[in-house]
Structure 1
Amino acid sequence: MKKAIYILILSVISLSVIGFKNYSNKEVEASKVESSYINDYEDLIIKCGNTNEKIVALTFDDGPDEVFTPQILDILKKYNIKATFYVIGEKVQYNKKIIKREYEEGHEIGNHTYTHINVSKNSYNKIKKEIKDTQSAVKSVTGTYPKTFRPPYRAISKDMCEIIKSNNMNIVLWSYVDARDWSSPGVSSIIKTIENGVQNGCIILLHDYNKIRNPKSQTIEALDKIIPDLLEKGYKFVTISELIEHLEKNTNNENNIK
């Protein structure tokens, strides 16, 4: 009996190790693909801002959400800071007032596809339609097209890069900090991940949508702690377009020095 239990335990451990290795291999492969495209489209893809300046960009994916997004906007207004919202196109038509409020309060709105597709698993025409339809949905409310695009799942494909390039947009990823707030890891975990990982020029990934429908999401609770803490440490919050402007300014300064 003891021998059987021992063998069972060993089997479980072996399967866990194999599963971990497979997961790790997938992450490594994804990283290699991303690195390859970043080299090919380095002027297109933004992963970080100017590391010589104490600036950070708060970004929120998967909205607008009729419950959580207004609460996030309230917190941003409370501290007088601007952020960037990467919106799902099909949600825009049902939340036009929220999109309009984001725009009127000085926040930036980015494209996050129309139905949250994985671009690495879809055709050129499908990706083009998803991006185009979201551009149109946002413009119908704000009067302007989004300038930046964030691919769901951080997935990257050559087709996507070519489509974004043809639209004179930038692909925006994130740097150093992914609090995985969508998984509801706990308010303290979100705060700790961000405050331990933040660096100059950091693009912080958060979400204004959560499947757990509490009156207030963990992300919202964490923001009321994170924002004043980072302000106290001297960080300035910028939109993604402002972050890109700082990058270009820094590059121009370096070229002038040479």
Structure 2
Amino acid sequence: MSSQINIYHSVHTALKMVAFTFDDGPNPQYTPEVLDIFNECNGKATFFMIGEKMKEYPDIVSDVVLKDHEIGNHTWSHPMLTQLNQEKCREELELTHSIIMELTGSTPAIFRPPFFDYNEEVNSVVMDFNYDVIGALNPDATDWEMPGVEHIISKSRNHIGNGSILLFHDGFGDRSQTVEAVRTLVQEVLSDGYQLVTISELLKSARK
């Protein structure tokens, strides 16, 4: 029997809430820069972290938690999960699940597959962790390709609305364009009356 795949790219809510999410960290340069942006406006964000990077930079993980942001599972080593057998897939999730609990004291509730590489076999493993699987509305922003600040802004701006989930990256390479784009987008959404919330806060608002 196949398991039903349910990936949240946005949530249905009447509230003006947007979730900014950041993949592939923690990173010693760019994660703190992102944290500063959200600290300045008292907004919250969600970080889908790679387990081996969490092990390398535990102090940054602690800082994310201290500032009340959310951490989600993004696997241990960022593989294409559909190319792994179920045992290896489970190991990728379990190792990161464990280090999140170890470093944060909390059980992760959300997961994002690397490269959005996902199928029924992967989903059957993920379901055992009771994760909500999180996508995003703006992969066309392609911030990981360094397409330019204005490209990242304009493509992301097109997807902003109640319940939007936006994807950015704070790890793997030069993320200076992402930081500058996010700085501008954060000010725009706040000016438009949106709250910046974590994924779990966004899901909770939709389930009331």
TM-score range, shorter chain: over 0.9
Give the equivalent residue in structure 1 for 2:41: 79
Deviation sequence 1:23-75 (CA, Å, 0-9, x none) = xxxxxxxxxxxxxx8x9233xx3221124332110000000011111111111
Give the equivalent residue in structure 2 for 1:95: 57
Give the TM-score taking structure 1 as reference length. Answer: 0.76
Matched letter for residue 197 of structure 2: V
CA distance in 1, matches of 2:35, 2:190: 17
Give the equivalent residue in structure 2 for 1:223: 182
| Corresponding residue pairs, total | 207
Give the equivalent residue in structure 1 for 2:103: 141
| 1:240 aligns to 2:204 (yes or no) | no
Q: Which has the higher helix share?
A: 1
CA distance in 2, matches of 1:160, 1:178: 24
Q: Give secondary structure in 1 for the equivalent of 2:118.
A: coil
Matched letter for residue 217 of structure 1: S
Identity among equivalent positions (%) equals 37
Deviation at residue 211 of structure 1 after TM alignment: 1.7
Deviation sequence 1:189-246 (CA, Å, 0-9, x none) = 111111222122110000002423xxx7111111221111111111111101011111
CA distance in 2, matches of 1:81, 1:178: 24
RMSD: 1.6
User: Unaligned stretches of 5+ in structure 2?
Assistant: none
Deviation at residue 178 of structure 1 after TM alignment: 4.0
Residues 126 and 177 (structure 1 numbering): CA distance in 2 closer, same or farther, change over 3 Å?
closer
Counterpart contact for 1:119–1:155, Cα < 8 Å: yes
User: Unaligned stretches of 5+ in structure 1?
Assistant: 1-36, 250-258
Counterpart contact for 2:137–2:159, Cα < 8 Å: no
The runs of 4+ residues in structure 1 deviating greater than 6 Å are: none
CA distance in 2, matches of 1:205, 1:65: 16
CA distance in 1, matches of 2:27, 2:170: 6
Give the TM-score taking structure 2 as reference length. Answer: 0.94
Matched letter for residue 235 of structure 1: Y
CA distance in 1, matches of 2:66, 2:167: 22
Matched letter for residue 230 of structure 1: V
Matches within 5 A, 1:1-258: 40-42=4-6, 45-176=7-138, 178-212=140-174, 217-249=176-208
